[in-house]
Amino acid sequence: NLEKVEKRVRTTCPYCGVGCQIELLVQDGKIVRSNGVEGVLPNDGRLCVKGRFGYEFVHSPERLTKPLIRKNGELVEATWDEALTLIATKFSELKEKYGPDSLAGYASAKCTNEDNYIFQKFIRTVFGTNNIDYCTRLCHASTVTAMLKSIGDGAGSNSIEDFETTDCLIVTGNNIIETHPITATYVKRGAAKGMKIIVIDPKWTPLVAYATIWLQPRLGTDVALLNGMVREIIANNWVDHSFIESRVEGGMQAFLELKELVEKYTPEVTEKITGVPAQKIKDAARIYATAKTAMVATGMGMSQQVTGTHNVFSLLNMILVTGKIGKERCGIDPPRGQNNVQGATDVGCHPAMYPGYIPVSDVENRRKVAQVWGVPFERLSDRPGLTTVEIIQAAYHGKIKGLYIMGENPMISDPNLNHTEEALQKLDFLVVQDIFHTETTRFAHVVLPASSWAEKNGTFVNSDRRVLRVRKAVDCPGDAREDWRIIHELAARMGKPMPNYRNEAEIFDELAMVTPIIAGISHARLEEHGIQWPCPTPEHPGTSTLYTDRFNTPTGKAKLFPVEHVDQTERATPEYPFILNSGRILYHYHTGTMSRRNKTLTNFTNHPYVIIHPNDASKLGVKTGERVRITSSRGTLETQVHIADEVLEGELFMPWHYTEAQVNRLTRDELDPYSRIAPFKISAVKVEVL
């Protein structure tokens, strides 16, 4: 009954990185409905099923409402005073005994910029280390690493609405209809108007129905495929010579080096490596290179491999030789998985970079930051910290003693979970701050009840660099508190108090002082609509397309990185004859902490499965609905079979949201040497019928 609605609060969706603007209707202190906000980008009134119905978790009876302390092996309720005193004492003791680098923190892509900014400030100034990272390391780290080196920014170069108006779109390793549904609505509209869509994916996705062409390479052969496309582009002189001469470092000399490297990737050789027919490779190269404008959306399929950085380099090489970047409706856009995965890195939750992507080694920036933060310059470490998986590996080897996790659930999201589990058990002290019990709180010494997105003010940054307001709609349940207030209190109890911020707008103002890309933004400016960074001054309108005048590299030019295809380090063997791929589905979200506590979403689907090709199923003698055991050299799980020709023979696919069948029991923690990402997409496994 809408007449009983007490208030309507405009905020930003808590799920994917599209950043849809929603209006929460509140009655009797509870959210009763979620509507899309019309006339405002990026969604203009549209919402997917998660934005429309996914708020139910906020009022779940399973919410954490009291701090919990482990006593005699059990987590028992405690007061805030008891919990914070214990945490401050334990972390201080560990720092004193083993040094600042024995401590680490996981920030959260589900928390606001203000929460994350305060969290990284805490890790840097109170712990005194740069050991801070979060889930971006598990998703787009290699994309960002390659983009930073090649073009100078790791963020998407265009606006979400450009997905409708570009002439050609390559979607590679990204199930965009299920993972970024509202961005996909722009793509579908573009397709209806004649946009050419090239899907590159080893697994069928719903976008294939809209595609001009679908290239289905074998898992782990992306570099070969893209080198093959670049060779075809060069062979047909679809190259933008003037762009290369004026905007690429080394000009034609650098181009000739790339040309020489890709020469061996003839369509026939590329077909042999990738399994993609030579004619399709030629067609895709022609469609992309000859389009007037073209964009690329790249996802986890490209990044979550030990060759992830090289995969994205090869993609960027193709973009640069055709000059399809630095102008409207041309560029590269990595749609972000979580709502604030862009923002958390922007505000400094990175082991090697301060807010605004400034290296920790930059002395001048450290001096400026120390002054703004009011801390001695010497307190800020110039040593890059450990990344997410490295923190776990260091805990396993006894080098990390204390870990503070805010809103992350590594016991589902990290690779090689059996190893992660052992590492967490070895910690002297683990604090988890979250809104629910998770698979990770089982190992915590203290659990702190935090606020959901609907209970806090602040900002998120979406996939097109749009800073968007988050507004409080309802109160926290029980004794739960806003994340930044918990961290703020802890800093004081550890003897290093932060300023007395009166509200989140004041935190943002401080953040803007140390983050040049958002220096011109304030909460007040975001009242009506979001602003895309870079926005250097209060008068600046924001930037919809990047690199129109220069790339954000030291020289202002982009850089080609010729890279060779190499075989994956883990391949099918007689013992483990299948390659397992993993990913997301429409109705669930990451580790399931939020989406699986929504009745509406779980009514759609709520059980794990593995997709097996019909020919493999017939060889195994298994039918849809039957159960199988899947085993890698790291671990094992049991799940239900779904037979479909969505995957190639010899390849499997599983959604990774489900605790009942934890895919990451099977994955590896071998890392890409440049980005330190783990290869979630490629695990050799065997299948046994139960």
- Closest to ligand SF4 by CB, 11 vs 221, is 11
Q: How far is the CB of 656 from ligand SF4 (least distance, A)?
A: 17
Q: How far is the CB of 185 from ligand SF4 (least distance, A)?
A: 9
CA-to-CA separations, 293 to 15, 19, 164, 327, 377, in angstroms, rounded: 30, 25, 12, 9, 48
- How many residues make contact with ligand SF4 (CB under 6 A)? 14
Q: How far is the CB of 60 from ligand SF4 (least distance, A)?
A: 18
Q: How far is the CB of 49 from ligand SF4 (least distance, A)?
A: 7
- Residue carrying the six token digits 């996705």: 205
- Closest to ligand SF4 by CB, 10 vs 259, is 10
- Closest to ligand SF4 by CB, 215 vs 526, is 526
Q: How far is the CB of 289 from ligand SF4 (least distance, A)?
A: 31
- Closest to ligand SF4 by CB, 51 vs 267, is 51
Q: Is residue 50 a contact residue for ligand SF4 (CB under 6 A)?
A: yes
d(C-alpha 20, C-alpha 468), whole Å = 9
d(C-alpha 537, C-alpha 534), whole Å = 9
- For residue 448, the one-letter residue type is L
Selected range binding ligand SF4 among 43-51, 298-306, 496-504, 663-671, rule: CB under 6 A: 43-51
Q: How far is the CB of 2 from ligand SF4 (least distance, A)?
A: 21
Element (H, E) at 122: helix 113-122
- Closest to ligand SF4 by CB, 16 vs 330, is 16
Q: How far is the CB of 592 from ligand SF4 (least distance, A)?
A: 14
- Answer for the pair 406, 622: CB distance below 8 angstroms, yes or no: no
Convert residues 539-578 into a mask of x (bound to ligand SF4 by CB under 6 A) and - (unbound). Answer: ----------------------------------------
The tokens of 630 are what?
């899947």
How many C-beta atoms surround the C-beta of residue 361 within 10 A?
12
Q: How far is the CB of 531 from ligand SF4 (least distance, A)?
A: 18
Site for ligand SF4 in 125-184 (CB under 6 A): 180-182
Convert residues 51-70 into a mask of x (bound to ligand SF4 by CB under 6 A) and - (unbound). Answer: x-------------------
Find the Cα–Cα–Cα–Cα dihedral 93, 105, 50, 5, rounded to 10°. Answer: 50
- Closest to ligand SF4 by CB, 20 vs 427, is 20
Q: How far is the CB of 43 from ligand SF4 (least distance, A)?
A: 6
- Closest to ligand SF4 by CB, 344 vs 643, is 344
- Closest to ligand SF4 by CB, 180 vs 310, is 180
Helix axes 222-235, 308-321, angle to 10 degrees: 10
Q: Please provide the distance, in angstroms rounded to a whole number, between the alpha carbons at the two ends of the chain.
A: 50
d(C-alpha 488, C-alpha 652), whole Å = 46
Q: Is residue 530 a contact residue for ligand SF4 (CB under 6 A)?
A: no
Site for ligand SF4 in 15-34 (CB under 6 A): 15-16, 18-20
- Answer for the pair 78, 69: CB distance below 8 angstroms, yes or no: yes
d(C-alpha 307, C-alpha 673), whole Å = 8
- Closest to ligand SF4 by CB, 95 vs 336, is 336
How many C-beta atoms surround the C-beta of residue 592 within 10 A?
23
Q: How far is the CB of 589 from ligand SF4 (least distance, A)?
A: 7
d(C-alpha 534, C-alpha 516), whole Å = 8
- Closest to ligand SF4 by CB, 43 vs 591, is 43
Within 13 A of 425's CA, how many CA atoms are on the CB side? 7
- For residue 336, the one-letter residue type is R
**Residues sharing a CB contact under 8 Å with residue 553, sequence separation 6 or more, in sequence order:** 150, 151, 152, 249, 559
- Answer for the pair 389, 678: CB distance below 8 angstroms, yes or no: yes
How many C-beta atoms surround the C-beta of residue 61 within 10 A?
7
d(C-alpha 577, C-alpha 433), whole Å = 40
d(C-alpha 112, C-alpha 103), whole Å = 23
CA-to-CA separations, 673 to 179, 304, 580, in angstroms, rounded: 27, 12, 22
Q: Is residue 586 a contact residue for ligand SF4 (CB under 6 A)?
A: no
- Answer for the pair 163, 190: CB distance below 8 angstroms, yes or no: yes
Selected range binding ligand SF4 among 8-16, 200-208, 340-348, 397-405, rule: CB under 6 A: 8-16
Q: How far is the CB of 189 from ligand SF4 (least distance, A)?
A: 15
- For residue 44, the one-letter residue type is D
Convert residues 362-401 into a mask of x (bound to ligand SF4 by CB under 6 A) and - (unbound). Answer: ----------------------------------------
Sign of dihedral through CA atoms 407, 413, 415, 416? positive
Selected range binding ligand SF4 among 12-20, 356-364, 402-410, 421-429, rule: CB under 6 A: 12-20
Site for ligand SF4 in 189-228 (CB under 6 A): none
d(C-alpha 118, C-alpha 360), whole Å = 17
Q: How far is the CB of 55 from ligand SF4 (least distance, A)?
A: 10
- Closest to ligand SF4 by CB, 11 vs 172, is 11
Selected range binding ligand SF4 among 48-56, 211-219, 448-456, 672-680, rule: CB under 6 A: 48-56
| Nearest residue to ligand SF4, by Cβ distance, number only | 51
- Closest to ligand SF4 by CB, 122 vs 453, is 453
Q: Is residue 48 a contact residue for ligand SF4 (CB under 6 A)?
A: yes
Q: How far is the CB of 18 from ligand SF4 (least distance, A)?
A: 4
- Answer for the pair 224, 274: CB distance below 8 angstroms, yes or no: yes
**Residues sharing a CB contact under 8 Å with residue 160, sequence separation 6 or more, in sequence order:** 18, 41, 42, 182, 183, 186, 462, 463, 464
- Closest to ligand SF4 by CB, 276 vs 435, is 435
- Closest to ligand SF4 by CB, 51 vs 402, is 51
Q: Is residue 47 a contact residue for ligand SF4 (CB under 6 A)?
A: yes
Element (H, E) at 637: strand 636-643
Q: How far is the CB of 462 from ligand SF4 (least distance, A)?
A: 8
- Closest to ligand SF4 by CB, 48 vs 448, is 48
- Answer for the pair 158, 462: CB distance below 8 angstroms, yes or no: no
Q: How far is the CB of 183 from ligand SF4 (least distance, A)?
A: 7
Site for ligand SF4 in 175-194 (CB under 6 A): 180-182
Specify the DSSP class assigned to residue 150: H
- Closest to ligand SF4 by CB, 50 vs 557, is 50
Give the residue, chosen from 13, 195, 450, 546, that forms a contact with ligand SF4 under the rule CB under 6 A.
13
- Answer for the pair 333, 296: CB distance below 8 angstroms, yes or no: yes
- Answer for the pair 110, 515: CB distance below 8 angstroms, yes or no: no
- Closest to ligand SF4 by CB, 46 vs 324, is 46
Beta bridge partners of 578: 685
Q: How far is the CB of 20 from ligand SF4 (least distance, A)?
A: 3
Q: How far is the CB of 593 from ligand SF4 (least distance, A)?
A: 15
Contact footprint for ligand SF4 (CB under 6 A): 13, 15-16, 18-20, 43, 47-48, 50-51, 180-182
